[in-house]
Structure 1
Amino acid sequence: MAKTALHRPNGLGSAPLLASLAELLRAWLPRQRWFAGKGRPVTDLSLVSTTELYPGCLHLLVRTEHSGPPAHSGPGAPPPDDCYQLLLGVRDALPPRLTHAAIGRASKGPLTNLIVYDALHDPRAARLLLERLRRPGTTGPLRFERDKRVAVPAGLAPRLLDAEQSNSSLVYGDSFILKIFRRVQPGINPDLEVPWALARQGCTRVPAPAAWFRTSRPQEATLGVLQPFLREAADGWTLALESLSSGRGFTDEAYELGRATAEVHVALAAAFPVDAPSPPQNRRLASAMSERLDAAARAVPELRPYASGLRTAFDALAALDTAVRPAQRIHGDLHLGQVLRAGQQWSVIDFEGEPARPLAERRRLQSPVRDVAGMLRSFDYAARSRHPWRPEWAERCREAYCAGYAAEAQWDPREEPELLRAYETDRAVYEVLYEARHRPDWLPVPMAAVGRLAERCSRTLTPPAPNPSRGG
């Protein structure tokens, strides 16, 4: 690359650098899977921090502002501005292996006539990140840290995972995986906080952090976490679809998955504070669910005919005059894609929660039944994704999962039917909103569940114990 661009004293100044990057990033950012402001033009860009990792490689925190309402408003709608983490390379010309990572050629500012590209695709930049994590220290506002008890070898070959997700992940030598958080919010990310706390509890269901990095500018925020990579593992979604395709059962796996979920919940309750339950909490929880339903119904017209039926599930929860399950730290976004199975062992990953939610909300104490409901909905998703639909497969999985959970936790989620049904309904409403925004072709899957849940919720407020409504 041209050495003059980034080596002048003002080469990394925000205003000159932004002159080179603004036009390119306005066009490139909205095309990325992890970009939250879908459907809204980027009206303004600002550089929160700029750090030169080595000549030709920049670490940036970029703040975006948007105009106009999102394509779908409602719970979890993206804020009017957001902060993203970028690793950008700059070269005179790209070798063939990096042409797919090109962002564009700068036409103004200090990078004029140079090509800007996503450096996470560049093995040199990826190896540098690992080396910085291996040797803790500070570079500008960036601080690299690690667990000194974990040996991370040098020279591990990197590869960028190409799966669509809300972050970016680099695998090193099939030994470690570095998750790089694209959306950055102030505070410690749960995907570092929770696995670290579980490791101290001796819980082996969650890969423990080996290293991480964060920024101090403008506020403390987690930027990435390095964990062991379970190379022989398959995710639960893939295993469930294989079961459906082959016609074999999945109940043994579901039972063991229930036990694994309960084991994690028990460890979380020991690692973090627990909030004693009370009837007023039932009403507050039901009110929040009802508000999310109202907002989703405004955003997705297909949901409106079912709103009154769905609302009865929340009314039943609010009417309870007895305390329900204590609130604690949970996973927050548990489904078959968030669990891995190697041999007979299930592991739970991705404790970040729903990235669209504020960080404080994702760290809030909640009922473990929320996680259970998320997994039960995921069984239904898997069954719905194959034709013909096999509701009996999902039914057997949910019964086995709850039985496994009860065996480990010493309480059965099916014994709190109002709470379980309310959380399943709330999850289905979230799914409708998510699919309407991101994957319209998938909208019929949660809408089918909404139809069943609305009908059953309208038919009875309190199903016979101990079997809850099986709408999910």
Structure 2
Amino acid sequence: MSTALAHVLRDWMPHQRWFGGKGREWADVSEEGFFLSRSEPVLSVHRVRVTYADGAVETYLVPLSWRAHPEEDLTSAFVGAVPVKDAEGADRENYAYDALRDRDATTPWLTHLAAASTVGPMHFSPSGSSAIPEGVPGDVISTEQSNTSLVYGQDAILKLFRRLEPGLNPDVEIGEALRRTENPHIAPLLGHVEIDTPDGEPATVAMLQTFVPNASDGWRLATASVRDLYAEGDLHADEVGGDFAADSERLGAATASVHADLARVLPTEAADRDWFAATARGMGERLEAALAVVPQLEEHLERLRAVYAAVADSPETVVRQRVHGDFHLGQVLRTATGWVVLDFEGEPARPLAERRQLDSPMRDVAGMLRSFDYAARHMLVEQPDDPQRAYRAQEWAVRNRGAFCAGYSAASGIDPCGDSPLLRAFEADKAVYECVYEARNRPNWLMIPLQSLSRLTAGEA
């Protein structure tokens, strides 16, 4: 069955949102699996090793549920039919489904976590004394890109990391550290799952956190505020009923709180001149690579190089620490009591070792400032030549960026948005990344980061 299943997975995986090798030529695929549950439906977990034509190798985790007959209710989760022999030796087919979209197959994950089980190469580790809900099926969140999450009622959310890399995932490492601080701005970690690898160091498979019910996504709240502003042609941003600045200020304070606790419970290190030089060099290398994808960057080239060079010569004092690493409005939730920060795994496309490195908190600040910029300007894509909208977008962005920085400063005593060459370079580096992403995925959005680069390289807000 293993060879037949590998062929089925080869056809199915490229169409999944979480698969990172879209468009790449496959040279080979192999899989190895084990049973996580033999109840009905049978649940198996497979490590699928994909070798590309350029020699690169990636390993993905694929849980499958198995049925003896096709299930009409699971058509959207169907993976493929695999030929097998029954007890009498007759040929028949087993029907494989994406187990995370098969509610009947989702309960064993929490059962094993509550029991701290070891099943084959997989190890389940509960955290602390918080109760893990058992016997409740999980519902998949369909909007995720690189991972897959299941919500179990109103109590817990399980995130499964699809691409396997040896080492502890930063989301688990940071979640465990912050759980001990009782920081009010995180969702407490309830447990995690690891799997043995041929390299000897286990890979993180999944993590379970407290679910945050009745919460609003930061991006949706911010963009709703922008729409309110656009709808009021004669009012300024601070006069509109949907003004977001108070929330932005509280988000700044929450961010500073999380940064402070990360520095308290995880390692820190003063940045030396070599770090500044390496940071500037990395930005320059990413810029050169981006030019091949986005020729429009040429007009900003010299000024961007100057922005990056200022980092290498910066007199700033920087204490490196663990940070979020991929911070934006889509990574925060507003609840009745304040903001909650999610997803501390960093940029999933970067190697795990890089995501666990110490960095400046200003990288997170820059990420959020870029997110405010996107929220303000995303509707300009529809009317790029409307000067009134462009003016109002800039007004909203300046107001909310300033409010975020004010909140951060009040909570930490550090003004993150002062005259910092490092912060400006982090923003510019992020905007260059955005240019590449938009050129490849949403060309009509490319105007947003390109216009931002014009402001950033001119020293404007």
User: Using the alignment, how far apart are the partners of 2:60 and 2:435 within structure 1?
Assistant: 26
**1:279–1:323 contact (8 Å) kept in structure 2:** no
Aligned match of 2:317: 324
Are 2:112 and 1:128 aligned? no
Could you report, residue by residue, the CA deviation over 1:278-335 in whole angstroms, capped at 9, with x for unpaired residues?
Answer: 3332222111111111112123333333222222110111222x24321110000000
Q: What does residue range 44-443 of structure 1 map to in structure 2 within 5 Å?
A: 44-47=28-31, 49-55=32-38, 56-67=42-53, 80-106=56-82, 113-218=93-198, 219-247=201-229, 248-320=242-314, 322-387=315-380, 388-389=389-390, 390-443=393-446
Aligned match of 1:71: none
Aligned match of 2:238: none
State which drifts further: 311-320 or 359-368. Answer: 311-320
**1:105–1:112 contact (8 Å) kept in structure 2:** no
Same amino acid, percent of matched pairs = 43
User: Using the alignment, how far apart are the partners of 1:108 and 1:202 within structure 2?
Assistant: 51
**2:251–2:407 contact (8 Å) kept in structure 1:** yes
Q: What does residue range 440-451 of structure 1 map to in structure 2 within 5 Å?
A: 440-451=443-454
User: Using the alignment, how far apart are the partners of 2:345 and 2:289 within structure 1?
Assistant: 24
Question: Over aligned residue pairs, what C-alpha RMSD do you find?
Answer: 1.9
**1:282–1:323 contact (8 Å) kept in structure 2:** no
Please tell me the residue identity of whatever aligns with 2:122.
Answer: L
**Which of 14, 21, 25 is the equivalent residue of 1:37?**
21
State which drifts further: 179-188 or 82-91. Answer: 82-91
> How far does residue 135 in structure 1 lie from its aligned partner after superposition?
1.4
Aligned match of 2:7: 23
**1:255–1:403 contact (8 Å) kept in structure 2:** yes
- TM superposition score normalised by structure 2: 0.89
User: Using the alignment, how far apart are the partners of 2:448 and 2:53 within structure 1?
Assistant: 31
User: Using the alignment, how far apart are the partners of 2:262 and 2:217 within structure 1?
Assistant: 22
User: Using the alignment, how far apart are the partners of 2:440 and 2:10 within structure 1?
Assistant: 21
User: Using the alignment, how far apart are the partners of 1:295 and 1:255 within structure 2?
Assistant: 36
Q: Which runs of 5+ in 2 are unaligned?
A: 230-241, 381-388
Aligned match of 1:10: none
User: Using the alignment, how far apart are the partners of 2:363 and 2:146 within structure 1?
Assistant: 21
> How far does residue 112 in structure 1 lie from its aligned partner after superposition?
6.2
User: Using the alignment, how far apart are the partners of 2:58 and 2:298 within structure 1?
Assistant: 30
Please tell me the residue identity of whatever aligns with 1:87.
Answer: P
User: Using the alignment, how far apart are the partners of 2:275 and 2:128 within structure 1?
Assistant: 42
**2:133–2:156 contact (8 Å) kept in structure 1:** no
SS at 1:351 equivalent: coil
Q: 1:191 to 1:221 in 2, by over 3 A?
A: same
**1:174–1:231 contact (8 Å) kept in structure 2:** yes
SS at 1:113 equivalent: strand
**2:189–2:208 contact (8 Å) kept in structure 1:** yes
Could you report, residue by residue, the CA deviation over 1:214-258 in whole angstroms, capped at 9, with x for unpaired residues?
Answer: 112323111001101111111110110111122321110000000
